[in-house]
Structure 1
């Protein structure tokens, strides 16, 4: 039961385009994550798939059937909202059973079996008589998950379901959602602005920005072969270092007028940009006369440190990951260099790195 989006667009007004020409094929049983910054249209896209928001142009197909004009109840899918959307006056059990009862096509014994199985899967059997106000945030999210599991829908849509939870609970719930999805064979379409959620859970990721698809790929493809400068900058903690570079007439490549790099491909003479991950930069303490940067701050993360520095020319900020025992502190003068593992972007921000030609561009 694949879900196919073909040139899907949404305009609220003539001059207000929320989404433009979004196309994707989401395979049966796939964990598909839609990610992007706030306001990029990802929740709108999910609501269009659900049938809660009308599309302006294009086509949405589920299992080879165009569903543009089908109401949500006829699309054979279920949705988990950011706000949980629980009925405060109903018990946990009745919240999970509500949708099944409303459809009136299930016997009471079948409803009982589905609800009890769903509660067992999310470890809420002992809390089934409680009201939502008596539950923690994580438990309320489990109720919402159980309601989705109890449905016989094979497609589940999730709109930033973990954003209201604290960091430790988000990690636990990520694992539980992933495990449930695999166990049930659900097609799960998941919206988030959190790159860590996207990278750790997805089979494929769609990156949205400025109303358009920037790239669709596996987590490894998105990270190692970003389609453009935006995708490269969006994924990675700390973010990739984007620096101006120029190829001189003699072939040398100068970065920010501070150091030189080797790039194993032909690049046009003139100006372009390079991307260097914080793990691919090297630092060395030197005297001020030999320095091309100075340390601004250092973050200790246990098994490693993040060194933040300001380059000598143009005051460009960079971040570098070093070993935890590396001795760097604020105001140290340093020499910055880089490995040969470098991404190359043209003037339009498109990735032109060698072997990146199979990257899906917008």
Structure 2
């Protein structure tokens, strides 16, 4: 275990954060402490008392270690792997050296700022999407091994379970609208990636890819069922009190369609002013049922419901518009990611290349380092130079 940690830290030291990276790290720390210490009056009194003693970092570190040891350790690791290493880890895949930093540090730190059940649900859905992107990247490279598939599938199930727990909290609070939006967005992501994986399987089917695709389909079906249940509840609400929410969702649906029009046009040369039905013919369908022309039809259906005063049903229709448009956008984004990765054989070489470029183009400023011991079963000494 200690040896593995030492290898990760050795890899991290190869990439030197630039001055801009260091400034960004400091801003992140400041944002973090503002959010988490302002709620603790005892911590504030402690900070006020010790405000003139030591550096900025050591004053805040004292607060953290006295109130939440695990949070302090996570913050230390986040600082350690900040800057270039953190960015490099974002591109790593299961089985690669920096992947533990991506999932155990980067994602953990970002999760601290999600805020509330709605934000937590959105972040769990995004983490699930990141796992799907990783599976697709490995499949394209022919590296989706049984071990990698099992790792990704396990994490995907964990994210889906956490997402479900957060949406249940929203429902318990009577916030069906936020629950619907969360389910709708997650379904759009799962459906888009399901189609991407299906296309990859058609090009070069493997046992592991087919197995993983089945798991994704099962999870998408569960989320779709929950989304439909939310829509039933909302559609039953035809009260005037729901009118404002439906009008807001109508504007959001129109804006989303315009956004996707422009997004696709900027990458295909197709006019952004073309009708949605025309854009749908440019092979950007997410499925037979879920293409942009269907989104256009859902928009018209929702507008008709608005005229009849069926505001709950209209809200559900406009949510469908956003979901279908987002599916189309995700398909295009996936194609772009594949193009960016196509020129490199492995993520390991990408990390090495980034480290070499960083070393050549940035002047390293040496600063006194504090030696910090991270104790697990043994001890690992790391240099933290900020």
Superposition TM-score tier, normalisation by shorter sequence: under 0.3
Higher relative contact order (CA 8 A, sep 6+): 2
TM-score (norm 2): 0.26
TM-score (norm 1): 0.27
More helix by share: 2
More strand by share: 1
